[in-house]
Amino acid sequence: MRLRLIGWLVVAAVTPPGTAAAQTAPRTQAFLGGTLDLAYPFAGDGEPEVNRLIRGDNPFDNVRLRLFADVVINSRWTVFNQILIDPSSSMGLESFLRSYVRFDVFKKEKADLSLQAGVVPTPFGAYSPRAYSDRNPLVSDPLMYHYFTTLRSNQLPASNADLLRHRGQGQAADFTGFAGGGSPIKFSGMPMIYDPCWDVGVQALGSLGRLEYIFAVAQGTLSAPRFKAGDNNKGKQISGRLAFVPRPGLVFGASAARGPYLDSALRPSLPAGASADDYDQIIYGFDVEYGVRHLALHAELAKNRWQAPNITDGRGGPQDLKTLGAYVEARYTLRPGLFAAARYDRLDYGDIDDGTRTGRTVPWNFDVNLWEYGVGYFLTDRVIAKLVRQDYHSAGESGHQAFWAVQVSGSF
């Protein structure tokens, strides 16, 4: 069976791709381009810390340059490369590199299949294609795609009380972490899904009638992607998304992923007989997209749980750490070249026993919600100026932060 599949793929690789056969076969050609974002946040009662990403960068940084170099080798093979240059980040450029190859197996009128391998796009939800500044009507990313919880892949909370003691600290760059063992390095926690960093893996994607699909195997997980070859545990994440397009402008998507997220180096700190591969991130979600005339709507909801060592329910049994993320985003063209956009975004954390043996339960992290809204104006067809306001509310001590910001984003 496996040999037949390999043979079929080899035949597919050397034969013309269906409808594309009638076209002139393109010569190897490179497409260079990029986006340049200039931003300035007018920090009011708080810096835009809520938007800080793992590598110390931030979508509100003054200068961010993203370069693309896509190479069409022939009508079937394409290599995609992109890199983000942000002077505010202290990490090496290699950590901002995304590079993958796509092979178009076939393209028919009603169906197609492509394979991708390398540092591949996030195969969950519908936000990843809109994360670029020229496609994002606002400036930040939705919370569930970047906001850090306190949980880490390379460090363990010793107990419920240890986890609860650090509530709200995941977003801090100097998060000291837990007492349950693991890396002593100060670092951020894990988000539900970390789209700014892609994972090394392979993907099969395409369409069948009104269905679109993507299935992926990756070495990391959505919350702890591994952008370099070399896994931190023996398990792999399986993920996928199915979308149904009943008519143009309306898309319903459903995504799911499961995979071990803990670093194998934590084994000495794990309960007896347990390995890092025994603890999965399990996440599923739904997305909808609707567009009509001058209105575009996007909404997503994702329900996530991490199987976590040392976290117990009131009876001493294992307790998963649950998170619910959701956002609704609207963009409306007010007049030619001028649009308004708004996103309401929230993360709710599941309750766990507070460890006081009183039976009381509390959310394992502080719930947060965020409004971002503003207007954008096309200075030219390739340059957009945005004025946005962000209002962040946390149930924790950080309370409320709000600021205005401007961003001028050009694509070339």
Partner 1 sequence: MSQRAVAAAVLLAGIALAPAPATAGTLTGTVLTKPVARTKAPPRYYLGPYRSGRGPSVVEEGGPQDVVVFVEGVKGAFPPPVRHAQLVQKDERFIPHVLAVPIGSTVDFPNEDDFYHNVFSVVSGDRFDLGRYAKGKSAHQTLNKPGVVVVRCEIHSGMKAYILVVPNPLFAVPGADGAFSIPDVPEGTYLVKAWHPDYGYQERSVAVPAAGTASVSFAF
Binding interface with partner 1 (CB under 8 A)? 19-20, 23-24, 26-27, 29, 31, 33, 68, 70, 72, 75, 78, 80, 82, 102, 107, 109-110, 112, 114, 121, 128-129, 134, 205-207, 210, 212, 214, 243, 245, 247-249, 251, 291-294, 296, 333, 335-337, 378, 380-381, 411
CB atoms within 10 A of CB 114: 19
Residue closer to partner 1, measured from CB, 318 or 337? 337
Query: Whole-number minimum distance, CB 27 to partner 1, in Å?
Result: 8
**Distance of closest approach, residue 165 Cβ to partner 1, in angstroms:** 41
Closest approach, Cβ 249 to partner 1, in A, equals 5
Element of type H or E holding 316:
none
Q: Which residue has the tokens 């509530």?
A: 167
Q: How far apart are CB 236 and partner 1 at their closest, in Å? A: 22
Give Cα separations from 285 to 123, 207, 217, 220, 236 (angstroms): 12, 20, 18, 19, 20
Count other Cβ atoms within 10 Å, centred on residue 145. 25
Q: Which residues contact 327 (CB under 8 A, 6 or more apart)?
A: 142, 143, 144, 298, 299, 300, 343, 344, 345, 346
What does the alpha-carbon distance between residue 277 and residue 267 come to, in Å, rounded to a whole number?
A: 10
| Segment holding 10, helix H or strand E | helix 2-14
Closer CB to partner 1, 290 or 404, in the complex: 290
User: Nearer Cβ to partner 1, position 8 or 31?
Assistant: 31
The radius of gyration of the chain from alpha carbons, rounded to an integer in Å, stands at 22
Q: Judged by CB, which is closer to partner 1: 32, or 173? A: 32
**Which of residues 2 and 293 has its CB atom nearest to partner 1 in the complex?**
293
Between 243 and 311, CB nearer to partner 1: 243
| Least distance to partner 1, CB of residue 343, Å | 18
| Min CB(45)–partner 1 separation in Å | 36
